[in-house]
Structure 1
Amino acid sequence: MKLADGREVECKTAWQMIIDRVEPCTPDWAEKITWVPKEKIIESARMYGSIKPACIYRGVALDQIGWNSTDAELCKTMLRAITGNLDIIGGDHMTYPGPVVNGKQFIRDSHLQLEDKLPPEMKRKQLGILEHPVQGWPQYDITSKYYKERYGVPQCMSGHMFQPPIPYLWRAIITGKPYPIKGLITYAGNPLVYAANTKLVYKALKHPGLELHVVLEHWMTPTAQLADYVLPMQSKMFERPYCGTFEDFHSAVAVWEAAVKPLGERKNEYDFFKGLAERFGWGEYFPWKDYREVIDYRLSSIGMTFEEAVKKCIIFTPTEKQYEQINPKTGKPFGFATVSKRAQIYNYTFELLGLDPLPVYREPFESPISKPTLAKEYPLILTTGGRFRPQFHSEHRHWGYGMREQHPWPLVEIHPETARELGIADGDWVWIETPRGRIRQRARLTTAIHPRVVNCEASWWFPEMPGEEPYLHGVFISNANVLTLDEPETLDRACGNWTNRGLLCKVYKATGIDALG
């Protein structure tokens, strides 16, 4: 193409750039990486490409594979668009700000987030944004304009969409760099269990540089045991009225009333943050006297009372192919919340952030290929995705409530052939070890797993054990995050994801151990 100044430049379409990128990624290439037979890869690709509608299931596995996380998600997003399965019934649903009732928009979390009150110099202090700019202000400042233009509401910055990579938090507490972290509020979380590299987390939470640590909780967890203050919080399921949109991701809002009166001194978290804001001189941003008034305010925007909303429980605006709907202001389709108003398979935002706009595969930091010497000592691949579904994250580990009785001990899945070679029988306690430490769980033999892979359960602690140090409810005994990897150089370039799955490990029988002995 010849430019106005006479220079000639080579141009390629986004589609051609994708073809060039994926051409070397043949089924034979993928088979060597994944250990999945190429015939299965071809079969699955043809199945997804030919069945309409089709859906790629959303889960957390790809969030947890270190520096390949975002690229894997980009592949999924591109496939949805290319195959025509984006935002159709039976395909991959896109969520929109809602609900909209009689043309009126429900007040979302994003309406209340006050991002305009944070000065630019404070935005620049967000940990890790230079190294991982997508889950932070650099990305937000680019995309929020198009989001608000498209939907008429601010872009969500809550929950998982907007947080610094947590490995940077622990290192900042310990080193004081890039600046000291002196105070921490842990709300609805148990980082000694959920965060990677448990030993580092422990060191940070015990560090004298952390002058104040406040935990808002339902239980005395291992993390709560190390706090300066533990404030008992009401259960959002039972002890308080509720009105929410699941971190502002969904177009529906759920509303229900409290089922029981709060026990003891349990408070609503709104009371905590309102009180904190008033003491800092920000009370004007919390004008409602309690959380029930907040709910009334949000529902008033769609002309509904709390009592009316409770009867409905879920208020939902059905949506499908909203990008095709005509914008009455322009007479053209609304399109998507992007600069081009199209579903962009070439990620222009990534290009502006200095990232590769197309996905690329990197061999994991720890693998038989990238670390062949280490693999001789740790010959198995570890994934930490094991779950007993009712035990959500680190919840429901207490005896006497029905969940622990169904699933009393942590299990690690091992192929029978591998177990036989290692002298391990079903139900044996075994050690699972990586270069970062070792834990023990009980072996569960299954042919559903590859012979060179083991899958241990995450999020284990033992409330029945003493809470004081050094026990901390047994947080170091079976907790998979003792094994996981969070070194900054191993994190995902875009979002800072660390590695919970795809680690090198070894497994061996734990002799002389019975239960927690």
Structure 2
Amino acid sequence: FAVWDEEHAAPRAHRADRVLARPETVALTGTHRFTDAIGRERTARPAFALLAERCEEWTPARVSAATWLDEDDLRAFYDLLGTHRRVAYYSWTGIGQHTNATQTERAVAVLYALTGACDRPGGNVWLAAPEANPLHGFDLLSEKQRAKALGLAELPLGPARRGWISARHFRRAVLDGTPYPVRALVAFGSNLVVTQAGSRANAEALRALDLQVHIDLFLNPTAATADYVLPANSPWEHEALRIGFEITQEAVEHIQLRQAMIPPVGLSRPDYAIAVDLACRLGLSDDFFGGSIDAGWNHQLAPTGLTVEQLRRSPGGVRVPRELVLEKHTRPAPGGGVRGFLTPTNRVELYSETLLDHGHDPLPTATDPLAALHPPGTDPDAYPLVLTTHKNGVFVHSSHRHVASLRRRSPEPTVDMHPDLAARRGLEEGQLALVATPGGDVTLRVRLDEDLHPSVVLAEFGWWEECPPLGRAATPAFGPGTANINAVLDDAAHDPVSGSVPLRAVACDVRPAPRTVGQWTMPRRFTVSALRHPTPDVLALSMTPCDGAGLPPVRPGQHVLVESASRPGLTRAYSVTEARPGSGVLGIAVKHVPGGEMSGHLHRRLAVGDTVWLR
């Protein structure tokens, strides 16, 4: 590489793996002309100058218009960022799930590097984990085998170069035979139908396989397409090795062989035992430690000096202290020079030659993710809103919604929106809404959130599962009645480098769902049609809606909020004890509580023909 030496007004050679000599003389700006070694006149500009020029295009006003953020808020943020040196970069925010993911992540990383906070106190510190031998590195495969990764030709810098593939490339290989036919799949704990965009197409590809084996704890829509389903057991039913945990240096130094807490249920087995046994039956025993799980773990542990037997004797784990050195990029490297960063140039790359060589912009660049929202042939006016999706924190991706204790905390799939947007679309809190995209529509329950932008809606992903203890039925993974947001998303538009799919910016609209018979969201007036006392202290009320409309189905444990028409403001919740939609009768039972205002009022004052409000 070359730098421009302002002191001598000439270029100076520089090895990127060495400490930069006399950095105060190096130009960061300007355009510089010189004659190269073979006599050609050349013009060069520092990478920092090119980056600065790119940034000048993005004035605060333009950023405000593009992001829908207030210009004053943006200025206040950058004033704060520019005057502080203890800056932490919080990742896993979803910016990687856009059609412009790579350049956005690059821009954030470059900005973070320019704050000078990398690997320093108060910034993101790269912790020192114990050394271990890898068991799952992609480089353990031969070069010929690595070259078979689906999507590698299209996205040579993307996930395929590390062995990861996208649902889009999987489908293409199965259905079209490109780049070669894929005829079989062995999958561990996945749910391709629900967790990836294009649910119907994913299911079609799975069904087209000659052989599909699915290993999981529970059945799901993906398992339903398999030829064989093998029962994996839970973490509490088998041992597992963890070398280093997260968050602190003390945590990453901790090594534990987690013990089984209960015997395996039925014929279930650890997923790793299934994989190793399969490998041995395919003639790969020598590559899988003769089928010995302990031998594999001991190989992994060898650099730490620990063995599986030692860890079994210390079930709480063992700490392997490591020296934490900060600013590791400035430290001497073996053979001289400095360690630098894990880039081809050993430096923070403001200008990426690698991206340039593959036909991409070498500088961080902003592209509007909304520009890719509308597929060809769709009417932009039909989908004027922006849909973003998120995980429900109660569950794990698309699983565990059958667990009643969790489902009580989050009983239904929801879509969040600003109250102003809801009002414009005729929607209310708790009402069912259709969220429509060019790929179809899903039915979700409305939640109002004043913190959202009035043009943005936020939908949960991962819904399909039943919960029998609470009377919650399963919903289709795709098609009419689905609550699976991935069923109406598409992965045709994607990031040109990483292949990331736009799960966080999708064109959509929302409208009221067709109401089920008798459904209501606002207070509804009922007439008391019958009163009786099953016991001296319990009053059973039968009620019919004054509007003459029907009643919706009632689930076990469901309740109504009762407000007396003669005592406005006095409300109590009571479980539904009688629900006969055909006859339009709904019943509750009220136990008299000594001194209770509502129970006393209903027991003493209520008569047949009186009215109450129910919500």
Q: Say yes or no: does 1:81 pair with 2:113.
A: yes
Q: Deviation of residue 486 (structure 1)?
A: 0.4
Letter of the 2:237 partner, please give it: E
Structure 1 pair 94–494 and aligned structure 2 pair: CA distance change class (3 A): farther
Partner residue, 1:321: 327
Greater CA radius of gyration, 1 or 2?
Answer: 2
Partner residue, 2:180: 179
Q: Say yes or no: does 1:295 pair with 2:305.
A: no
Q: Deviation of residue 52 (structure 1)?
A: 2.6
For residues 18-50 of structure 1, what are the alpha-carbon distances to aligned partners after superposition, in whole Å with 9 as ceiling and x for unaligned? 112221011111111111111112221222222
Look up the SS of the partner of 2:53 in the other structure.
helix
Alignment of 1:385-404 (within 5 A): 385=390, 387-400=391-404, 402-404=405-407
Letter of the 2:175 partner, please give it: I
Structure 1 pair 272–444 and aligned structure 2 pair: CA distance change class (3 A): same
Structure 1 pair 372–87 and aligned structure 2 pair: CA distance change class (3 A): farther
8 Å CA contact 2:378–2:438 kept in 1: the answer is no
Separation in 2, partners of 1:370, 1:180:
28
Partner residue, 1:229: 228
Alignment of 1:334-345 (within 5 A): 334-345=339-350
8 Å CA contact 1:243–1:295 kept in 2: the answer is yes
For residues 195-229 of structure 1, what are the alpha-carbon distances to aligned partners after superposition, in whole Å with 9 as ceiling and x for unaligned? 1111211221222xx11111110110111111111
Partner residue, 1:241: 239
8 Å CA contact 2:96–2:102 kept in 1: the answer is yes
8 Å CA contact 2:407–2:467 kept in 1: the answer is no
Q: Deviation of residue 494 (structure 1)?
A: 0.9
Letter of the 1:272 partner, please give it: I
Partner residue, 2:429: 426
Look up the SS of the partner of 2:408 in the other structure.
helix
For residues 151-181 of structure 1, what are the alpha-carbon distances to aligned partners after superposition, in whole Å with 9 as ceiling and x for unaligned? xxxxxx4xxxx41232111122122222211
Greater percentage in strand: 2
Q: Which stretches in structure 2 are left out of the alignment for 5+ residues?
A: 1-33, 520-551, 555-615
Q: Say yes or no: does 1:54 pair with 2:87.
A: yes
Alignment of 1:147-226 (within 5 A): 157=162, 162-207=163-208, 210-226=209-225
In the alignment of these two chains, the number of paired residues is: 472
TM (normalized to structure 1)? 0.84
TM (normalized to structure 2)? 0.71
Q: Say yes or no: does 1:461 pair with 2:464.
A: yes
Q: Say yes or no: does 1:361 pair with 2:374.
A: no
Look up the SS of the partner of 2:44 in the other structure.
coil
Greater percentage in helix: 1
Partner residue, 1:410: 413
- Could you list the runs of 4 or more consecutive aligned residues of structure 1 that deviate by over 4 angstroms after TM superposition? 245-254, 313-316, 365-373, 514-517
For residues 54-112 of structure 1, what are the alpha-carbon distances to aligned partners after superposition, in whole Å with 9 as ceiling and x for unaligned? 1121114112112x00111001110121101111232123356x31xxxxx32234xx5
Letter of the 2:462 partner, please give it: S
Separation in 2, partners of 1:9, 1:392:
57
Q: Deviation of residue 344 (structure 1)?
A: 2.4
Look up the SS of the partner of 2:41 in the other structure.
coil
Structure 1 pair 287–114 and aligned structure 2 pair: CA distance change class (3 A): farther
Partner residue, 2:102: 70
Separation in 2, partners of 1:282, 1:290:
12
Structure 1 pair 135–258 and aligned structure 2 pair: CA distance change class (3 A): farther
Look up the SS of the partner of 1:311 in the other structure.
coil
The RMSD of aligned alpha carbons is: 2.9
Separation in 2, partners of 1:226, 1:472:
17
The share of aligned pairs that are identical, in percent, is: 26
Larger RCO, structures 1/2 (Cα 8 Å, 6+ apart): 1
- Out of 31, 37, 42, the residue aligned to residue 4 of structure 1 is 37
Q: Deviation of residue 369 (structure 1)?
A: 9.5
Separation in 2, partners of 1:316, 1:508:
58
- Out of 426, 439, 443, the residue aligned to residue 440 of structure 1 is 443
For residues 430-468 of structure 1, what are the alpha-carbon distances to aligned partners after superposition, in whole Å with 9 as ceiling and x for unaligned? 110101011011000110101111001111112348xxx
For residues 310-353 of structure 1, what are the alpha-carbon distances to aligned partners after superposition, in whole Å with 9 as ceiling and x for unaligned? 433665644532223334x4454322233332222322332344
8 Å CA contact 1:192–1:202 kept in 2: the answer is yes
- Out of 325, 338, 357, the residue aligned to residue 333 of structure 1 is 338
Structure 1 pair 20–165 and aligned structure 2 pair: CA distance change class (3 A): farther
Q: Deviation of residue 248 (structure 1)?
A: 12
Q: Say yes or no: does 1:93 pair with 2:94.
A: no
